[in-house]
Structure 1
């Protein structure tokens, strides 16, 4: 089975905060005005570079939130971020709040660059300083009560401090994310969680969880293409043989359609057997049909 590449922190930062930007200030614990809109991240200058910033947001009071991700914050990073902010200020003449997100191995607090005639500071947020076990319990309770949760907290939860191993915390987080009520976001949140955990979790565990997620997505696609068609056929037959029998027949045909769609997507026989419960001879027969 093909697996999605999962080796890019920047992808998670931009995707997660883009999807859930209205919840980002609460998640980061920043006492700032609400986000109003996204802002450009590429401000080119002829005499410098066209490097892109990670994320910029316009806040309700007219100031700008500039977010960056950096695993090991260095003086060179501060110089680069300061240059970004000077470009932003030159363009908009607005107050800028620069926040650096660090998965682990960093020191919390404000980082300062002092050149003598220029003082520049950023706020660094280190996720490993946060209590992941308590947060996991809080989210679990909220979902159990049917209350809304902050999906950003779930995506970054495996990076937080825990009495469990990183792999165990990731498994628990992925399992909890299955309970998110919004089906359209559920798999996206799980994907971003796995991508972010790439550097801290054993590859075997990641591969196993990716396979499970991909299986769910592929089956969902096959069901959408197959089950409805099968049940429609069954209901038609039910007009002649009795509605109940017809619907049962439709469900059987729906399963066959799912299997055929999975095979047409290139899934192997073992995978299709696991996904549909059909036996190997049936799968082999369907393979022949899909090739015709």
Structure 2
């Protein structure tokens, strides 16, 4: 069973917004100057050296965008963010805009912390307030016309409100992501979507979608290496045909890729013709546990 921790969600948030930094403001729906660069997220301080902000960007007007992701926004979070923002202001001497992305909340909009002499506010963006059905339709129409889309919206789409069940919305999102024109970006978007989906769907369904993505990657790798085109008859048979013509080094390369995708040793051995001792050596080189 695939286990996904809270840290994985944080990593998805950071990676998604890092990859698509130039599309972040459009996704967030906020009127701020364009992003021009990343800023550090760890600012040394005597009292707190371990705290790190999620993401910081320098905006075109010199101000700073501070992005955070939280399951729920609490008073304790506001105190922590206020502390971060004071450090940012002291470090860069520039205005700070703090935006907090949450899957759901009973009240959306600006959140305020009032402690008398200091008043602090953040903008909370609640994904479940957004119309996932309308976005799905818009994205499908754009991809059919060959028009660009905001991939960030696809990653977070399954967390939005919909007349569909969460499982059906996730499946339709994944199917739509298959139509993204850039292969590497397509796979990355699907991976990030599936990790976030751990919050909302049954583990069995999620495992099936992960397995589909794994198999898709292996099949595509085989095709790109010029292997035989009999893959529709089965992954094992298709790869093995290519391996019969391949060199040992190439077979080991394929085995490494399959190991990194979590494919079982038995299938790798059958597909590549390598023995268990070589598989164990490859695992060791990848810092993976051996049998």
Same fold (TM over 0.5): yes
1:242 corresponding residue in structure 2: none
SS of equivalent to 2:58: strand
- Shift of residue 256 of structure 1? 5.1
Equivalent positions of 1:106-121 (< 5 A) are: 106-121=106-121
Give the TM-score normalised by the residue count of structure 2. 0.80
SS of equivalent to 2:78: helix
SS of equivalent to 2:274: helix
1:135 corresponding residue in structure 2: 135
Distance 1:6 1:226 in 2: 38
Do the aligned residues in 1 keep the contact of 2:222 with 2:242 (CA within 8 Å)?
no
SS of equivalent to 2:73: coil
Bigger CA radius of gyration: 1
2:242 corresponding residue in structure 1: 254
1:277 corresponding residue in structure 2: none
1:92 corresponding residue in structure 2: 92
Equivalent positions of 1:1-292 (< 5 A) are: 5=4, 8-225=8-225, 227=227, 253-254=241-242, 265=258, 267=263, 289-291=273-275
- Shift of residue 104 of structure 1? 1.4
- Shift of residue 72 of structure 1? 1.0
- Shift of residue 205 of structure 1? 1.0
Query: What count of residue pairs does the alignment treat as equivalent?
Result: 258
- Shift of residue 224 of structure 1? 3.3
* Structure 2 unaligned regions, length at least 5: 230-238, 279-291
- Shift of residue 46 of structure 1? 0.8
Distance 2:60 2:3 in 1: 37
Deviations 1:88-107 (A, max 9, x none): 00001100000000011342
CA gap 1:90/1:203 in 2 versus in 1, 3 angstroms:
same
- Shift of residue 218 of structure 1? 2.1
Do the aligned residues in 2 keep the contact of 1:133 with 1:163 (CA within 8 Å)?
yes
- Shift of residue 268 of structure 1? 5.5
CA gap 1:87/1:135 in 2 versus in 1, 3 angstroms:
same
Do the aligned residues in 1 keep the contact of 2:129 with 2:160 (CA within 8 Å)?
yes
Deviations 1:41-68 (A, max 9, x none): 0012112333000000000000000000
* Structure 1 unaligned regions, length at least 5: 232-250, 273-282
CA gap 1:255/1:163 in 2 versus in 1, 3 angstroms:
farther
Distance 1:65 1:88 in 2: 10
Do the aligned residues in 2 keep the contact of 1:106 with 1:126 (CA within 8 Å)?
no
Deviations 1:12-51 (A, max 9, x none): 1100000000011011101000000000000121123330
Deviations 1:175-224 (A, max 9, x none): 10000001110000000001111111111111110010111112223333
- Shift of residue 252 of structure 1? 9.8
SS of equivalent to 1:76: helix
Give the TM-score normalised by the residue count of structure 1. 0.80
